[in-house]
Structure 1
Amino acid sequence: MGEHRGGSGARGISKGPILVVVLIVLIVAGFFGWKALSNRIDDQGQQAAGTCVEGNKTLDVTADPSIAPQIEELAKRYTQTSPVVRDHCITVVVHGAPSASVSTALEAGPAASWDDAALGPRPSLWIPTSSFELAPLAGKAVINGDPRSLASSPIVLATGPETAAALAGAASSWKSLPSDLTVALPVGSTETSMAAQAIAADVADAGAGPVTTDQAKSAQVNAALSARALQFQSLPTPPTSTAEALGALSAGTPDSVKAVPATEQSIAQSANAAMTTYSPAGATPVADYPAVIVSGSGIDETASRAAAQFADFMREPNQSQLFVGAGFRVEGQDLPDLGAVSPAKISSTLKPASAETAAALGDIVANPVSPRSATILMDTSASMGTDDGGATRLANVAAAVNTQLGRSPDASDIGLREFSTGTDGKPSERILVPGGSLSEPNRRATITDFLNGLRAGGKTSKYPALASSYKAAVDGFDAGRVNSVLLITSSTPDESTTTRAELLSAIAAAGNPSRPVQVDVIVVGAGDDVSTLQDVSDRTGGTLVRVDSTSDPALAATVTKMLS
């Protein structure tokens, strides 16, 4: 009989499900492995950043000395946070330097050399006193972005309590301050520049400004600023800085300033029982301490980013409280406690003027125009018809005189004469505009019309013309002001029949010690025969200046000096 295989033998297990399970396990394990590796890589990246793989970097900050102590303290706080910018560990170092000096250095351009000894390293971040100091930097490619204020303090007047009360009672504005109030206007001071713009804005009815260049060069602004500057400069020892002026006022120094334009914060720091503040009515100039990110040689992207981050750090409420505690104002925070000084109320803030306008106002403060009685004696001989830079010598001289007439105060008394020889060869002197006050209607326009209408011709007859004009000036002497004759002539020798001896004799005969009239002379062109005119100038207390070319800016500067 045949046998059959038993039905109880074991069956084989399918491999498909097992493979699926294994695959799932591998995928899950791979995912968590990749995740762990990714985290490890991130941790390593963070550790690399935290250890500054690019190394250490110093952020150089320059601040005006008036706010440098607070910036230094904030720099320490910021550095203690271990800031890292673009894989660099940042350390902030603060240097103090006057804003005006830094502005002048930056104005030279981003590639210009830098005086480390005087100003510290070229900064990546600069905190000047005010945005007023940024005007000269427009278009110079040295500022990165739009500077924003860190803190502020208005420009007010430091003065005595009685004076402040009187000013408040009269609601005095910048232009209506009493004429006998000696205001400190030290040349080159930031506070002086800001006060000058406030005075100009008030005089020109410019509101909150900015003051324009035409307004700055107007006779009204020139007269107002010149009067203030002359009064200050006539002090026995005028203070040379705002800080020195505040010290003199605080100490009650006799024969010194009675009011000092300064920041509210600086006044509060030095105020005593003899000194308080007054805020003139009208637009108020404000020291807004902008954070300026600087561009230029040696300043890379890391430095710029670090500068921006540090500026943001200083604006944080808990950090900016440091400014408030020092007497500065900070937007969004309460007014500072200024002790005995009450915070000024600001109705409007004066906008900074352009660099050209600021320079024009600064020139008035540095070279104020005093009211005077002057006869302008113009040489219209053929020698003044020489072409000089595209126009005749005579046209260039007329333009320079016209410019100065616009600056001269209304109280000045000006006359105009011209000389040459007539068609008959004889000396010819004409009184074009008799002496008279510039406050008279149309006097400036009349003098300008005659100046523009002058034509060169004939020979020069300066000796007889000068003798005649000098005698007329002595006879018409105006007490209480400078009296002068301004002769503008070529270097061509006199061609009249009047001799040197006769001219000197005529000057001596007309002179009167109780009626001093100085003869100022501008000689145009090269030439050696000026000894006679130099003698006349020396004997009358005047000045002789030679100008090689009438197209040179030196001519206008000389005319300004001799009619100021």
Structure 2
Amino acid sequence: MSKGPVIAVGTVVVMVLAVLGWFQLRERIADQGVEAADTCVEGTAVIPVTVDPDVSSQITRSAADFTATAPVVRDHCISLEVTTHESTQVANALAADVASWDDSMLGPLPALWIPRSSDALVDLPVGTVDGTPRSVASTPVVLAVPGVVAEALDAADIGWADLPRLQSAPDGMDTLGLPGWGGLRLRLPVGPDSESSAAALSAVAATTYDSSTPVPASELVRRSSTATALSALATTDRGTPSTTTESTDSALGMLSRDSTPTSDVHAVPVTEQQLDASAQSGLTAYAPSGTTPIADHPAAILAREWTDETSRRAAAQFVDFLRQPENAQMFVDSGFDVGEPPSGSPAVGIAAQSALVDAVLDPATTRRVTTLLDISGSMDTTEGSNTRLDNTVAALDQQFGSAIDSSELGLWVFSKDLDGTRAFRTLVPTGPIDEPIDSSTRREQLIAAAGAVRPATATSTYEAVIASFLDAQETYSPGKPNSVLLVTDGPNDDTTITSSRFLSTLSEMVDPTRPITIDVVSIGTNSDGSTLQSMSDITGGSFTTVGSSDGAELPDLLRKLLH
């Protein structure tokens, strides 16, 4: 018998056994890998999750359910640690220097953050959020109102843009077929759990400008249309502030207890879910027409230096877990919507919302102010990258542009011999700021006139003040503060009138039936400060020194005095 076939068969057998051995070895290696992963060879990774109180109970329960599935990510057993904090607090802390993060106040820096709405994400540094956050639960911001009010608002198709008019008009609700109800009497809680108030203000503000273009927070309330709307919302038809330091629940309770025409409150901003979950009865949700703000609770996976690949992957897995239909049902049971929310008001950011709330807490008021601007040679002094005069004109332009529609403003300048032998000149007579003048408005003329001024020579302050004060008396407008705003940087150098004679003359001119205050803004060092202070005291005005025209101090002060 030949040995060849036997050797061949033996070789085949050996090869088969070798292949089988390799497959068994590979399976053992794979099994060992799975076993190593299942036993978390890298240990346990605790993933910090921070959530808004709105969804705290649901997220906490889901986190426990997720951890119970024994998830493993990159050889780490995953455990979630959920803490609950107001979105505004977390947003401000994340936007600031992370080194200032206070664990004792806010818990550990999160790998996953679920705020109340996407507004909280706007001001975060670039690169803070990994990918596009997805909503885990949403609910629109509405107005809680008595049923009869909801019917009237719905019949008139009242939108967010209509709220300022209904708030300020004594017969706002009467025009909707509710005689005796007065104005809207929208109550704006700014205490605990009151984010819906800021969201409602954002919705109203969005109707006053092209909201498709992002507006910086610092600029938002400087728009005259926005400032006018917020000013109207700040006070009810009864002359009382619309804001309250109470919580939204407290405001709802007040409305529920008295929903009659004579009540101090007819409407409260609230999320639809919050209203449904409240214990208050007799209230109905009304959604004003227009783009509605939504509390969309986005799941933001953070990608900053305190997170790593493991924490981000684990956070992403938990977000997927939350959005699975069987797990999302707990949000539905709590009154939330799930899935992709409808498009709502553009996110404006926490800083912008804070500015809107501040504008209602300290609203612009209707005033009649004649600005008396020093254009003497010393105003040509350079401060920063521009002259004092240029800086002052820029600051004034901001205020002229943002003054509310009911304001009455005017602009005079003074130096020496500006109008013949007179030391002053009226550039724009004081009157309603949006009153048509020729082919423009007084507002436009104020901005144009201020931009055209140039430094002159001397400083005849006393003559100009006496003239402007007399004009303010002769054109006095009752029912609002009337004032002269003097902006100067140096002493009077007109020797034809002494300071004592000036103050004596001014004292004799004061008329209690037509009160005119003189407010002084003095730039830099002014040796005439004591006289100007006495002048302000005589008229009940104010005297303020700013160290420089460069920076935010001057425009902030002018805003206070002109608005």
TM-score (norm 1): 0.87
**RMSD of aligned C-alpha atoms?**
2.9
The AA in structure 2 aligned to 1:410 is: D
Q: Which residue of 241, 247, 267 maps to 1:235? A: 241
Query: Alpha carbons of 1:146 and 1:496: their partners in 2 closer, same or farther (altered >3 Å)?
Result: farther
Q: Residue 443 of structure 2: SS of its match in structure 1?
A: helix
The AA in structure 2 aligned to 1:200 is: A
CA shift for structure 1 position 291: 0.5
2:509 counterpart of 1:510: yes
Which has the higher mean CA deviation after the structures are superposed, 250-259 or 284-293?
A: 250-259
Whole-angstrom distance in 2 between the partners of 1:539 and 1:184? 39
Q: Which residue of 382, 388, 402 maps to 1:407? A: 402
Q: Residue 66 of structure 1: SS of its match in structure 2?
A: helix
Query: Alpha carbons of 1:450 and 1:505: their partners in 2 closer, same or farther (altered >3 Å)?
Result: same
Q: Residue 167 of structure 1: SS of its match in structure 2?
A: helix
For the 8 Å contact 1:222–1:369, the answer to whether it is kept is yes
Query: Alpha carbons of 1:244 and 1:317: their partners in 2 closer, same or farther (altered >3 Å)?
Result: same
- Corresponding residue for 1:17? 5
Q: Residue 544 of structure 2: SS of its match in structure 1?
A: strand
Whole-angstrom distance in 2 between the partners of 1:378 and 1:372? 18
2:162 counterpart of 1:176: yes
Q: Which residue of 292, 298, 319 maps to 1:290? A: 298
Query: Alpha carbons of 1:94 and 1:115: their partners in 2 closer, same or farther (altered >3 Å)?
Result: same
CA-to-aligned-CA distance 1:23-72 (integer Å, 9 cap, x gap): 33333333333333322222221111011100111111111111111111
How many residues are matched?
535
2:279 counterpart of 1:279: no
Query: Alpha carbons of 1:469 and 1:167: their partners in 2 closer, same or farther (altered >3 Å)?
Result: same
2:128 counterpart of 1:135: no
2:522 counterpart of 1:523: yes
Structure 1: 5+ residue runs without aligned partners?
A: 1-12, 334-345
For the 8 Å contact 2:491–2:527, the answer to whether it is kept is no
Structure 2: 5+ residue runs without aligned partners?
A: 168-182
Whole-angstrom distance in 1 between the partners of 2:279 and 2:540? 45
- Corresponding residue for 2:134? 148
Query: Alpha carbons of 1:390 and 1:24: their partners in 2 closer, same or farther (altered >3 Å)?
Result: closer
2:353 counterpart of 1:350: no
TM-score (norm 2): 0.87
CA-to-aligned-CA distance 1:385-414 (integer Å, 9 cap, x gap): 212223221121112111111111221111
- Corresponding residue for 1:339? none
For the 8 Å contact 1:217–1:360, the answer to whether it is kept is no
Q: Residue 382 of structure 2: SS of its match in structure 1?
A: coil
CA shift for structure 1 position 184: 3.6
- Corresponding residue for 1:444? 443
For the 8 Å contact 1:156–1:263, the answer to whether it is kept is yes
- Corresponding residue for 1:386? 381
Q: Residue 503 of structure 1: SS of its match in structure 2?
A: helix
Query: Alpha carbons of 1:358 and 1:505: their partners in 2 closer, same or farther (altered >3 Å)?
Result: same
Query: Alpha carbons of 1:467 and 1:251: their partners in 2 closer, same or farther (altered >3 Å)?
Result: farther
2:55 counterpart of 1:67: yes
For the 8 Å contact 1:522–1:546, the answer to whether it is kept is yes
The AA in structure 1 aligned to 2:551 is: D
CA-to-aligned-CA distance 1:350-369 (integer Å, 9 cap, x gap): 23247886676556445432
2:97 counterpart of 1:102: no
CA shift for structure 1 position 528: 5.1
CA shift for structure 1 position 421: 2.1
For the 8 Å contact 2:120–2:349, the answer to whether it is kept is no
For the 8 Å contact 1:324–1:330, the answer to whether it is kept is yes
2:366 counterpart of 1:371: yes
CA-to-aligned-CA distance 1:252-308 (integer Å, 9 cap, x gap): 499754322221111222252342221111111111111101121221111111111
CA-to-aligned-CA distance 1:188-225 (integer Å, 9 cap, x gap): 96433322232133344x5x746656886442222112
Whole-angstrom distance in 2 between the partners of 1:140 and 1:157? 34
CA-to-aligned-CA distance 1:329-372 (integer Å, 9 cap, x gap): 11289xxxxxxxxxxxx8x6323247886676556445432111
For the 8 Å contact 1:107–1:140, the answer to whether it is kept is no
- Corresponding residue for 1:4? none
2:327 counterpart of 1:322: no
- Corresponding residue for 1:31? 19
CA shift for structure 1 position 75: 0.5
Query: Alpha carbons of 1:197 and 1:209: their partners in 2 closer, same or farther (altered >3 Å)?
Result: farther
Query: Alpha carbons of 1:502 and 1:230: their partners in 2 closer, same or farther (altered >3 Å)?
Result: farther
The AA in structure 2 aligned to 1:140 is: V
